[in-house]
Structure 1
Amino acid sequence: MAGIVNYISQSYDELKNHVTWPSFAEAQRLSVLVLVFSIIFSLAIWGVDTVFGELVEEYFIWVKS
């Protein structure tokens, strides 16, 4: 049990004294950047999924006839 308490204490000390936190403006800018790339990536996946879905549908129509 002392090991867990020691781990939490050291983790807190590390976060408080040794981590360089970004400024609010930088965090906002990076959050917007992540949002934009997430939207672009999700649209790309949606497009590929749609194309492959249509291809599979056409394949099964072709096989069925």
Structure 2
Amino acid sequence: MDKFISFLKDSWEEFQHNVTWPKFSELQASSTLVLVASLVFALVVGLIDFLFENALNAFYQSF
């Protein structure tokens, strides 16, 4: 139990003195980048899905 309490104390001290938090503007920029990248990725995957679906439908209907 002493090791666990020591771990908690050390973790709290690390949290108070050594953790650096990003500025709000940095968080906004990172969030915007993630949002844009996610939308682009979703559009690319959706386009590939659309193309494969149409290609397979055309292939299957040819028989």
TM-score (structure 1 length as normaliser)? 0.72
Q: How many residues align?
A: 63
Which residue number in structure 2 is paired with residue 43 of structure 1?
43
Q: State the percentage of identical aligned residues.
A: 32
Tell me, which stretches of 5 or more residues in structure 1 are unaligned?
none
The aligned runs of 1:14-53 (5 Å cut-off) are 14-53=14-53
How far 1:7 moved relative to its partner?
5.2
Find the aligned partners of 2:17 and 2:7 in 1 and give their Cα distance. 15
RMSD after superposition: 2.1
**Structure 2 residue identity aligned to 1:17:** H
Between 26-35 and 2-11, report the one with greater CA deviation: 2-11
Tell me, which stretches of 5 or more residues in structure 2 are unaligned?
none
